[in-house]
């Protein structure tokens, strides 16, 4: 799947960071001869400023520099979601094993020993840029799917802000339940993507104001599977897939699409579901007014009593909401304190 056809072709932009002007000149000449656009910085702080202004496609980074050394620069870049995908090549001294180990620890993508071979430098830069193009395309594809998810939401003005509220509720609950960071990220994305499959449901069914008949429900129940299929090719969305597919399963096995029950329903899907129900109850729809928080939490308790929801997920959510442990999320989806 090539999703980046609309991205204009551009010359890769390299950032060379070295406090020795001679090294910068040499590297710049070599890289410009390869057709790259080159910018340079003489120390770590200047390098970070350049990256913040316009992230380059690759960084050649010296280690020993004044102000901020290469390790610190690399660590900061890799800790920032905005810049973590920019490849960093550390320029190390020959046979400096300790430097390489430290470089791996701070997240460097590759190393080049000084004095470097020009052919090796060119080959490494070329291969890392190829990889960068690929990850950029995946990022574009992921961004496009998130936009699509919000487009689906925008079809129904009554659900405006729903994605953001879901992300806020499920993130809060996920933290209380001690979920790992990767799952919290998946919940955040799941807020926008869980109903993406509704893009494949005809508007006549999706926006029907009255109740659906059985034939229409059969179609409507396809949306988790359609959504999963759309996101399947993207490795970056791997952890979101269980949320998309299973957010309508029921604790007693009476849900869809797979009729999973109990612990077989992925935890992230159970969390998203509780957030989804709570948000649906507390927002106004054409056919019903918004319930108060207390009434919505009572309804969730009732769903547990019926055996439909996991008490180990619902009770902490109720506790969290009653304690006011979540930033309040307004009807419009904006967080207000």
Sites of contact with Fe ion (CB under 5 A): 195
Task: Report which residue's Cβ sits closest to Fe ion.
Answer: 195
CA distance 228 to 162: 20
Burial of 74 (0-12, 13-18, 19+ CB in 10 A): buried
Nearer to Fe ion, 30 or 281 (CB): 281
Name the minimum Å distance from CB 157 to Fe ion: 18
Nearer to Fe ion, 59 or 265 (CB): 265
Name the minimum Å distance from CB 250 to Fe ion: 13
Name the minimum Å distance from CB 37 to Fe ion: 45
Nearer to Fe ion, 42 or 152 (CB): 152
Nearer to Fe ion, 225 or 320 (CB): 225
Nearer to Fe ion, 164 or 195 (CB): 195
Name the minimum Å distance from CB 141 to Fe ion: 22
> What is the dihedral sign for C-alpha 34, 40, 45, 51?
negative
Name the minimum Å distance from CB 147 to Fe ion: 18
């Amino acid at each position: 799947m090539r999703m980046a056809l609309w991205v204009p072709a551009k010359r890769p932009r390299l950032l060379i960071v070295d406090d020795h002007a001679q090294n910068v000149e040499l590297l710049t000449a070599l890289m410009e001869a390869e057709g790259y656009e080159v910018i340079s910085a003489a120390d770590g702080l200047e390098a970070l400023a350049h990256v913040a202004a316009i992230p380059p496609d690759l960084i050649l980074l010296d280690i020993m520099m004044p102000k901020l050394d290469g390790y610190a620069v690399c660590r900061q870049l890799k800790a920032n979601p905005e810049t973590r995908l920019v490849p960093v090549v550390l320029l190390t001294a020959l046979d400096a094993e300790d430097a390489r180990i430290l470089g791996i620890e701070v997240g460097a993508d590759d190393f080049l020993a000084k004095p470097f071979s020009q052919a090796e430098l060119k080959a490494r830069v070329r291969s890392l840029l190829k990889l960068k193009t690929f990850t950029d395309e995946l990022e574009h594809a992921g961004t496009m799917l998130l936009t699509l998810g919000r487009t689906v939401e925008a079809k129904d003005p009554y659900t405006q802000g729903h994605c953001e509220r879901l992300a806020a509720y499920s993130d809060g609950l996920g933290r209380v339940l001690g979920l790992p960071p990767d799952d919290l990220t998946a919940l955040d994305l799941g807020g926008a993507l869980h109903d993406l499959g509704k893009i494949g449901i005809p508007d006549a069914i999706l926006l029907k104001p009255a109740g659906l008949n059985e034939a229409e429900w059969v179609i409507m129940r396809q949306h988790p599977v359609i959504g999963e299929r759309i996101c399947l090719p993207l490795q970056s969305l791997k952890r979101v897939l269980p949320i998309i597919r299973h957010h309508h399963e029921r604790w007693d096995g009476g849900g869809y699409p797979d009729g999973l029950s109990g612990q077989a329903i992925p935890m992230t899907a159970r969390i998203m579901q509780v957030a989804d129900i709570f948000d649906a109850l507390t927002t106004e729809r054409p056919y019903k007014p918004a319930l108060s928080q207390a009434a919505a939490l009572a309804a969730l308790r009732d769903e547990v009593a019926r055996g439909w929801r996991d008490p180990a997920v619902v009770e902490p959510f109720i506790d969290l909401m009653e304690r006011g442990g979540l930033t309040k999320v307004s009807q419009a989806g904006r967080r207000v304190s």
